Amino acid sequence: MRKYETIFILDCGIEEEARNGLVTKVKSLIEEHNGKIETLDEWGTKRLAYPIDYKKDGYYVFVEFEAEPEFPIELERIYRITEGILKGLIVKKED
């Protein structure tokens, strides 16, 4: 198991219930793949550094977790194909 950090940005135009559903989806994906969530912090709505799909604001969520080395590739794939997620980034934490 390795330690990772991920941040993903959700579309502010979706309803709060859908936004909570996406956060729960990412959380359950990590747990389904035998990962362990250390922290999940919702930073809320912030201005994007540059427009993404013509949107200027996004809802930021930060997660620290442990998982197998193969899992981040799958999580990045999920970020790209899930509607409502504008961007996602996963980095490996140094020991």
How far, in Å, CA of 42 to CA of 7, rounded? 10
* Burial (Cβ within 10 Å: 0-12, 13-18, ≥19) of residue 24: exposed
45 within domain boundaries: yes
Strand 2-11 and strand 55-67: the pairing is: antiparallel
Per-residue confidence (pLDDT) for residue 34, from 0 to 100: 87
- Does 84 fall in a domain? yes
Q: Is residue 93 part of a domain?
A: no
At 61-78, the pLDDT tens digits run: 999 999 999 999 999 999
pLDDT at residue 90 above 90? yes
Number of separate domains in the chain? 1
Confidence (pLDDT) at 79: 95
Give the predicted TM-score (pTM) of the model: 0.90
The pLDDT value given to residue 35: 87
> Cα separation of 11 and 19, whole Å?
8
Please write the tens of the pLDDT for every residue from 23-75. Answer: 999 999 999 988 899 999 999 999 999 999 899 999 999 999 999 999 999 99
Question: What residue ranges in 12-84 does DSSP mark as E strands?
Answer: 36-52, 55-67
pLDDT tens readout for residues 13-25? 999 999 999 999 9
For residue 74, the domain's CATH number is 3.30.70.60
Tell me the residue range of the domain where 29 lies: 2-59+66-88
